[in-house]
Amino acid sequence: MPEPIRKLVIAGGGTAGWMTAAWFARLLHGAPVEIVLVESDEIGIVGVGEATTPYMHLFDRALGIDENDFLKFTGGTFKLGIEFVDWGRIGNAYHHSFGMPGRDYGPMPFHSVWMRNALSDPADTLAAYNLQTQAALHGKFMRPNGANSPLADITYALHFDAALYAKYLRGLAEDAGVRRIEGRIEQVRLTADGSIEGLSLTEGRSIDGDLFIDCTGFRSLLLGEALGIGFEDWSHWLPCDRAWAVPTAREGAPLPFTRSTARSAGWQWRIPLQHRDGNGLVFASAFMDEAEAVDQLVANLEGPPLADPRLIRFQTGRRKKVWEKNCVAIGLAAGFLEPLESTAIMLIQKAITYLQYLFPDQGFSAADRDLYNADMSREYEIVRDFLILHYRANERSDSEFWRYCSSMPIPDSLENRIDLFRSRGRILEVPGEQFRVPSWLAVMWGQGLRPAAPDPLAMTLNETEVTNWLAGMRDVIARCRDHMPDHADFIARHCAAQTAH
């Protein structure tokens, strides 16, 4: 029988490293497995992942995190979705909100019935059927309240301060027994069969282990550099490769959503926290140089900057394998898809969960490894296609960047989805996908894609009945929205940030 894993070494203490440490410390509590995390304060963390998806609740619940305490600690706010401004075309704005819009009409999906009406009546907006969008537009928030109404299904994610998040996770992990080692990894030592034997640190220290998790960020020190696993570059589909990031002073009440505003060679984010706003310009250096980009960001800030803008360079794509020998890469060390839909922390969670199901012994089953690599490839590709959609489906012709995006070749998987939608408004539902029908609908419709004709079955329905049914639904959503408290009041009552922030 192969020996069990007795020592788990996590290299890197950013969001990926500490999430992994906290998770496995909890899972392996009481088992004879030592968990060690090594990180270097001198190198630091990327420190920009501040917006999430609702998937995060699964992680928090499993770790027993009290959401109010968490938000107090990290100065966090609630996120009902993302507002896309000037995407598709200048002057356009739409929300990709969480949760379901409307409800199904008997056996017919909501979107088929609604689109039949909306195709002939542009005033019939998707926003009117999604409670999250309505709440976002009116600055409202509450958690689901269990009533028999759309209020029971409120779906949300969180915004938080990335540096405080890493600190919070570190506290959880250390309390659960993870040993942190401060030091810089100088060398990754390999065995004769090419597995990792240990890490050599500055001042001659060394850490050996059985399973190594590479969370060293973009450099991918273990998987990429030491084990030589190459990178699959997706920048021809997602050309943004730089970001300037800068915090600004909080002015007015924090909005319960992330805002993404398209700019001439990329887009600008604004993430509202309780104590500040996070801002950044994500841009393509092939279309705009760094100096012009920082000027554009600073010119479009809504509050006074609290620090100098910081430049982050990245490459979009993923490692060809994320598990090789006795090393699994998680987080930026495994790959990166630009932050347009705040998916990186979700992918970290996915990586951790799949690893839990396929947790190895020292025999390192090749079948398990292959399955893990296939699962993670699929996860990255789904997110990739969803992001490309935002760029490809645009009617902007005001800059070379947008002209490139609207004519670039795209993966067949995405081409197929767009063709289906353009024909009869059909939306492919793939089991297990993070982005479900409402997300594809919000972005395809929001970016300006329209079907040539409605779903033929929807055309068989009685027009007056459909119109009345839609009006009734809009009314219910509006009344639920009116019942909700202001986002700022909700925060003040339940989770106001600790004054130290």
Residues identified as active-site:
79
Write the CA distances from 167 to 18, 36, 162, 430, 468, integer angstroms. Answer: 9, 16, 9, 36, 52
Positive or negative, the CA dihedral 309, 313, 319, 323 is: negative
Query: What is the C-alpha to C-alpha distance for residues 145 and 62, in angstroms, rounded to an integer?
Result: 21
In 3D space, the residue among 172, 171, 179 whose CA is nearest the CA of residue 207 turns out to be 179
Residues 6+ positions from 255 with CB-CB distance below 8 Å: 136, 139, 272, 487
Q: Which is nearer to ligand FAD, 11 or 113 (CB)?
A: 11
Binder among 44, 230, 363, 456 for ligand FAD (CB under 6 A): 44
Using CB under 6 A as the binding criterion, the count of chain residues that bind ligand FAD stands at: 37
Burial environment of residue 378 by CB neighbours within 10 A (0 to 12, 13 to 18, 19 or more): middle
How far apart, in whole angstroms, are the C-alpha atoms of residue 119 and residue 132? 23
Does residue 339 touch ligand FAD according to CB under 6 A? yes
Instruction: Name the segment binding ligand FAD (CB under 6 A); options: 41-49, 94-102, 141-149, 370-378.
Output: 41-49
Nearer residue to ligand FAD within complex by CB, 105 or 212 = 212
Q: Is 155 in the site for ligand FAD (CB under 6 A)?
A: no
Using the contact rule CB under 6 A, the part of the chain among 39-47, 205-213, 232-240, 388-396 near ligand FAD is 39-47
Interaction of residue 246 with ligand FAD, rule CB under 6 A: no
- Is there binding between residue 216 and ligand FAD (CB under 6 A)? yes
Are 319 and 228 a contacting pair, CB within 8 Å? no
Of 57 and 184, the one with the shorter C-beta distance to ligand FAD is 184
* Residue closer to ligand FAD (CB basis): 331 or 360: 331
Is the Cβ of residue 44 or residue 363 nearer to ligand FAD in the bound state?
44
The site map against ligand FAD for 283-322 (x = CB under 6 A) is -----------------------------x-x--------
Nearest distance in Å: CB 322, ligand FAD: 12
How far apart CA 175 and CA 270 sit, in angstroms, is 33
Position 46 contacts ligand FAD (CB under 6 A): yes
Closer residue to ligand FAD in complex, CB, 145/315: 315
Which segment (118-126, 302-310, 339-347, 466-474) binds ligand FAD by CB under 6 A? 339-347
CA distance 170 to 233: 32
Coil, strand or helix at 249: strand
Residue 50 lies near ligand FAD (rule: CB under 6 A):
yes
Give the pairing of strands 179-182 and 34-39: parallel
* Of the candidate residues 9, 10, 12, 392, the single one contacting ligand FAD (CB under 6 A): 12
Gap between the Cα atoms of 27 and 64, Å rounded: 12
Q: Is 15 in the site for ligand FAD (CB under 6 A)?
A: yes
Cβ-based neighbour number of residue 20 at 10 Å: 29
Task: Pick the binder of ligand FAD from 8, 13, 36, 164 (CB under 6 A).
Answer: 13
Residue from the set 8, 10, 16, 410 that interacts with ligand FAD by CB under 6 A: 16
How far apart CA 349 and CA 15 sit, in angstroms, is 10
Helix axes of 110-118 and 437-446: crossing angle, nearest 10 degrees = 20
CB of 166 vs ligand FAD, minimal distance in Å: 7
Kindly state whether residue 40 participates in binding ligand FAD, applying the rule CB under 6 A: yes
Query: To the nearest 10°, the Cα dihedral for 103, 108, 114, 120?
Result: -170
Closer CB to ligand FAD, 219 or 424, in the complex = 219
Radius of gyration, CA atoms only, the chain: 23
What does the CA dihedral 44, 233, 341, 285 come to, rounded to 10 degrees?
Answer: 80
Select the residue interacting with ligand FAD from 264, 326, 342, 349 (CB under 6 A).
342
Q: Could you say whether residue 115 binds ligand FAD (CB under 6 A)?
A: no
Least distance CB 340 / ligand FAD (angstroms)? 9
Q: Decide the pairing of beta strands 327-329 and 258-263.
A: unpaired
Give the residue with the Cβ less far from ligand FAD, 188 or 495.
Answer: 188
Which parts of this chain interact with ligand FAD (CB under 6 A)? 12-17, 38-40, 43-46, 48-52, 184-185, 215-217, 219, 221, 243, 245, 280, 312, 314, 331-333, 339, 342, 344-345
